Homo-oligomer: A and B are copies of this chain.
Amino acid sequence: MRQSGLLLNTLRESPGDAETASHRLLLRGGFIRQLAAGIYTYLPLGRRVLRKAEQIVREEMDRAGGQEVLMPAMQPAELWRESGRYEVYGPELIRLADRHGREFALGPTHEEVITSLVKQEINSYRQLPMTLYQIQTKYRDERRPRFGLLRGREFLMKDAYSFDADWEGLDRSYRAMFAAYHRIFQRCGLEFRAVEADAGAIGGEGGTHEFMALADIGEDTIVVCTCCDYAANLEKAEAREGRATKRGEEQTEHSAASSGRPGMEKFHTPGVKTISHLVDSLGVGPADIMKTVVFMADGVPVAVAIRGDREINELKVKNALGAEICEPADPAAVEALTGVPVGSVGPHGLRIRVLFDSTAAEMEEAIIGANERDYHFRHVVPGRDLTISQVGDFRNVQEGEACPRCAEGTLKYYRGIELGHVFKLGIKYSEKLGAAFLDVSGKSQPVIMGCYGIGVSRVLSAVIEQNHDEYGIIWPASLAPFLVHLVPVSIKDEAQKRVAEEIYERLTELGVEVLLDDRDERAGVKFKDADLIGLPFRIVIGKDAGQGRVEFVARRSLGVKTPLTVEEAIRRVLEMRGEANDRRLK
């Protein structure tokens, strides 16, 4: 393609609301333009990259045995009512009515549609297993669309759904998708981790993993072992079980040891309402305090006690209780329940069920709220002074903690961008929507499902977050809009023009995607633009063109300029393409 005819306006400045490198560079490099908040047009360069990402996803889905379908974005509201999600989904679901007043949703996902399809189409175990996928535009009315393609309201997604006759089958389908995801993100040149995640409201039995690109701007905190391949979302990351058990044993010792300790003692703490206030006024550390937080779990109050320097993980509490909805009770409700303000609540004599995080249970002695306004207890020895009926892991793990899986590693925090997820749905949707099959013995069974998503447009942002420098984007060959940027220093120079045209024709003939900067612009402008849009390889045709010599530059190392003959430059490009293809076929 000749750059003079390409719709490509690079921008020196990026709009003020572009907070992340990928958002800025996609705008500045002329890849996308915003039409409305979270809604973007892909310009020619952006469309090319998106199509490459689509194609990688498609190839790997096909290789994993997936069959491509295409489902509509307009979904009848009745289907969503059947699954029970129409009301639950909230304002993220875009709703509309047709000319006859019939209600529709614009699909943020397609569990309902595919389950109802499968209900019609599958009736025997002989048709299973089956995995269907589509690459299709999704709609989610995000409260706060941002970061360009990272959190948009209209975006391209690959969603796949597996259907199995038994749970072992689901495991196999899940593993096949898991492996395909690894290949996809590898081919996109991403540094990523498959992290254990929570099943959340989408519900269902069994496992789920999120594939996270490591990036500082990521909206999720992930926890990764320094030694083994353990990785999990912070909300899901387990504290090391062994440790807990060990502490449990220690705890017995504590109980024994506690006989020498001073007895529990109530003391006056006028006006003290928060942990930090308590710390300041007593001159102790947060780790000396046991804090108690009251939750409402499906309408029932439950307290959680944890060491003061730790954070409660609401998800772990929710899961331990098997609750549908579990959130901190508001202060008024706490006061109504306990008779005292939030800051005075403590586990001693509280007439609410108390869960003890192991950090709390293992404290040698603690300061706790006295369930009496302006009073606390000190010298509280948990094994001696508190009735501990349930100890568990109810906290966020911290950096530096031991890995829950391996003996050597410690945990480290990263920020992650969610690229995709794989999810064992089980029979949640097939039961609700009646998608059943006859098993070998002729008995009707709900189909066992998995679902598997990838944010295809989001992949572009993640790749740029990981592959850019101060000058612009550094595309991996697999996603680059063109493989080679041909830059004659001056298109008015006859020799340069001739050599540029020759290389352009020959590479194009060889099936290499080449962008020829045939604009009559200053060299500085052309190089700046080339740096910004970030094609992997550049051939600069300058003053030695008359001698048939050019410079070869890889975008990843701009400083390294290799002088080559035209023949050598062409051969180098073909080698580079070969390497990229090899990576693809691996």
- Inter-chain CA distance A99–B96, complex, in Å, is 12
Q: Are A69 and B98 in contact (CB under 8 A)?
A: no
For A94, the chain B residues whose CB sits under 8 A away are 96, 98
- Inter-chain CA distance A36–B134, complex, in Å, is 19
A128-155 interface bits toward B, Cβ cutoff 8 Å, 1 = contact, 0 = none: 0010101001010101000000000110
Q: Are B5 and A130 in contact (CB under 8 A)?
A: yes
Interface flag for A229 (CB, 8 Å): no
Which one of B5, B42, B98, B104 contacts A70 once the chains associate, using CB atoms below 8 Å? Answer: B42
Q: Are A7 and B132 in contact (CB under 8 A)?
A: yes
- Inter-chain CA distance A264–B132, complex, in Å, is 78
Closest B residue to A62 by CB, please name it.
B1
For A104, the chain B residues whose CB sits under 8 A away are 36
Q: Are B95 and A96 in contact (CB under 8 A)?
A: yes
Closest B residue to A116 by CB, please name it.
B35
- Inter-chain CA distance A94–B153, complex, in Å, is 17
Where chain A touches its partner, the secondary structure class is mixed
- Inter-chain CA distance A99–B36, complex, in Å, is 14
Interface flag for A33 (CB, 8 Å): yes
Q: Are A117 and B33 in contact (CB under 8 A)?
A: yes
- Inter-chain CA distance A65–B2, complex, in Å, is 11
Measured between C-beta atoms, what is the minimum distance from A395 to chain B in Å? Answer: 34
The interface centre, meaning the residue of A65, A72, A134 with most chain B CB atoms within 10 A of its CB, is: A72
Q: Are A69 and B44 in contact (CB under 8 A)?
A: yes
For A91, the chain B residues whose CB sits under 8 A away are 99
Which one of B40, B42, B68, B75 contacts A47 once the chains associate, using CB atoms below 8 Å? Answer: B68
Q: Are A113 and B76 in contact (CB under 8 A)?
A: no
Interface flag for A388 (CB, 8 Å): no
Which one of B72, B137, B139 contacts A41 once the chains associate, using CB atoms below 8 Å? Answer: B72
**29 A/B residue pairs, CB under 8 Å, sorted by A:** A5-B130, A7-B67, A7-B69, A33-B117, A33-B120, A33-B121, A35-B71, A35-B76, A36-B76, A36-B102, A36-B104, A39-B74, A40-B72, A41-B70, A44-B69, A46-B69, A47-B70, A48-B68, A50-B70, A72-B154, A73-B73, A73-B137, A73-B154, A74-B153, A74-B154, A91-B99, A96-B96, A96-B106, A99-B143
Interface flag for A444 (CB, 8 Å): no
Interface flag for A390 (CB, 8 Å): no
- Inter-chain CA distance A70–B117, complex, in Å, is 28
- Inter-chain CA distance A151–B156, complex, in Å, is 25
Interface flag for A9 (CB, 8 Å): yes
Instruction: List which A1-55 residues lie within 8 A (CB) of chain B.
Output: 5-7, 9, 33, 35-36, 39-44, 46-48, 50-51
For A102, the chain B residues whose CB sits under 8 A away are 36
Q: Are B70 and A7 in contact (CB under 8 A)?
A: no
